[in-house]
Amino acid sequence: MIKFVSEPAIANKILKMKQRVRWQDPVIKERQIDQTRMVLEDGQADNPEFSFLVVGDSGSGYHHRHNPQRQVAEQMLPHHQECRFMLHTGDVVYLVGSSEYYQQNFISPYREFLIGGDKPKNIAYDKMIFQLPILPIPGNHDYYDLPLFFGLASLSTLPIRKLLRSKLDFDIGWHGSGQGDAYARAFLDYLRSFKLPGQLERHLDEHYITKTDTGRCLTYQPGRFTRLPNRYYTFRYGGIDFFALDSNTFNNPLPLPATQEGDNYRKELEQRRDKLEQEKLEIIEQLTKLNLDNSQEAEKIDDLQGNLSQIEEIIVDIEKQLTADQTTVTDIEQLDWLEERLIKSWNDKEVRGRVIYFHHPPYVTEATKWQQAQTLAVRQRLRDVFDEVAKAVGSFTQNSLTEESPIVDLVLNGHAHCLEHIKTANTGHADSYINWIVCGGSGFSLRRQRVEGTDLMENFGGKGERLVAQSQLFVGRNGTGSHKRRPYSCLRIDVKEGRHPKFVVRPFVTERYQGKWSNYEVKPFVI
């Protein structure tokens, strides 16, 4: 069995990230600092009309004859001055979130967004300062590490030696993310690095100066100080509350039931995993026979590498189910925080709307995601939060949910390598009538839509299936052979003024077809 990645346990992710930002350190508590909030200080945050960009799963890795991520970045450049910030829905670097790949996977493609971008090779990944704010959340690949299998003994075996050579390079490098350490050093305010007496105090008194109703908070200053306070956080802009979540710590599946049915399902999962492992070996064999000097075969290499990554992702999901037990940690602290802040947002008359963004999409029609256990876990836990918020805000209850008054205005996700707009119907929960946009096609290998089509159905406790959501737009890989199309994508979203704001969504696509690039804009839509 060849494993390309390993994923830290949720408890380790939470612990390590807390250590990096010195979560609730006595010095921080003494200053009454809210480590989950920031203020974007650009002089325009009170303007009710503004625009922002969205990308996701952008870390394209090494492409042998083209760079989709740079093509997407160039699509955004004409909008650079008109947009106030860019949201990133996760997976900054592929295949593992290694610091050694930030230069080619992030700094070089987005150089115009960075101070010193005219000389991107001089920018260290942990010293980035953004001219236009890039506000990410971590994806699963940003937490991935290399298995010991890769790092030690198997480097001497022939398949792995071949795998690590030029044409089969999987951008795994020689180390992984350090359990998310590279991401934290790149984007978070890495307070753990302050070790000299008084150093932390001076830093806090310089950069955590904005007073809010939840305490002092970090001040994000484009071009000067561009760090995030935590792996999940909130900020307000133009009267819209934005909530950035880390779904990597609440996507754990529930344990399989200790019944005959559960045992049978476990065997099915094990058989499926073994079959996928065999498919991986067959793909590796194909890769060893392809010639990089042939343009068509070079693109086939990229496709096969993408297929390997997709298979590995499914295997990871299966193994999460097989190893889930009652001791598995769920990030209740973050979910409780989200519930509390959403309630506070609904009770604040200055707030016009709410946007949430995180990595794993609860609703999606990309070929592999809807039936994944992680998808179900995230959907159920988010529903639980939304249901509690709906109960707490008085007259706004589950029974009065309408298309005009959803619990949040917009949810943005990545993880699925496509661009998709989904609208939930009446789900029986407070996630009804919400617009969900998956923006995960900004650089890495694209995926197709599932053959079952655009309608998402759920089984409601023995009462049969019912429609819970429908896909309104899907942009992903399509066609076969020489007619295969690879449409990479990003978004510009224009927020309009008004007590109940409209969001004008403008998708931009750069498509590779028969070895050539072409750009186009998908018809904008209003939500």
Q: What is the pLDDT of residues 81-100, one digit of tens each?
A: 999 999 999 999 988 899 99
- Residue whose C-alpha is closest to residue 354's, from 362, 363, 342, 344: 342
CA gyration radius, the chain: 22
pLDDT in tens, 32-42: 999 999 999 99
Q: Would 279 be classed as within a structural domain? A: no
- Residue whose C-alpha is closest to residue 478's, from 411, 419, 434, 390: 419
268: tokens are 């099915």
Mean pLDDT across the stretch 408-413? 98
How many other C-beta atoms lie within 10 A of the C-beta of residue 231? 30
Domain extent at residue 137: 10-146+178-254+330-526
pLDDT in tens, 138-188: 999 999 998 754 444 334 444 544 444 444 455 666 778 999 999 999 999
Q: Is the pLDDT of residue 66 over 80?
A: no
Q: Would 207 be classed as within a structural domain? A: yes
How many other C-beta atoms lie within 10 A of the C-beta of residue 417? 30
Q: Would 302 be classed as within a structural domain? A: no
Distance CA 240, CA 350 (A): 9
Q: What is the chain's mean pLDDT, rounded? A: 90
275: tokens are 């079959």
Which CATH number is 434's domain given?
A: 3.60.21.10
350 CB contacts (<8 Å, ≥6 apart)?
239
- Residue whose C-alpha is closest to residue 477's, from 428, 513, 435, 525: 513
Residue type, 437: I
Q: Would 479 be classed as within a structural domain? A: yes
How many other C-beta atoms lie within 10 A of the C-beta of residue 295? 13
Count of structural domains within the chain: 1
Q: Would 284 be classed as within a structural domain? A: no
Helix (H) or strand (E) holding 191: none
User: How many Cα neighbours within 13 Å face the side chain of 149?
Assistant: 10
| 473 CB-contact burial (10 Å; exposed 0-12 / middle 13-18 / buried 19+) | middle
Q: Is the pLDDT of residue 492 over 90?
A: yes
377: tokens are 């876990």
Distance CA 92, CA 442 (A): 10
pLDDT in tens, 230-251: 999 999 999 999 999 999 999 9
Q: From start to end of 1-40, where are the E strands?
A: 33-40
Residue with tokens 């896909």: 471
How many other C-beta atoms lie within 10 A of the C-beta of residue 171? 18
1 CB contacts (<8 Å, ≥6 apart)?
277
- Enumerate the H helices of 208-331 as residue ranges: 260-288, 295-323
Please tell me the predicted confidence (pLDDT) of residue 156: 42
Q: Would 173 be classed as within a structural domain? A: no
Q: Is the pLDDT of residue 299 over 80?
A: no
Q: Contact at 8 Å (CB) between 193 and 154?
A: no
Q: Is the pLDDT of residue 372 over 50?
A: yes
Please tell me the predicted confidence (pLDDT) of residue 158: 42
Please tell me the predicted confidence (pLDDT) of residue 512: 94
Q: Would 260 be classed as within a structural domain? A: no
Distance CA 189, CA 25 (A): 14
- Per DSSP, the chain holds a count of helices (H) and strands (E) of 12, 18
pLDDT in tens, 314-369: 998 999 999 888 788 899 999 999 999 999 999 999 999 999 999 999 999 999 89
- Residue whose C-alpha is closest to residue 89's, from 434, 493, 478: 493
Q: Would 5 be classed as within a structural domain? A: no
pTM above 0.85, yes or no: yes
Please tell me the predicted confidence (pLDDT) of residue 217: 98
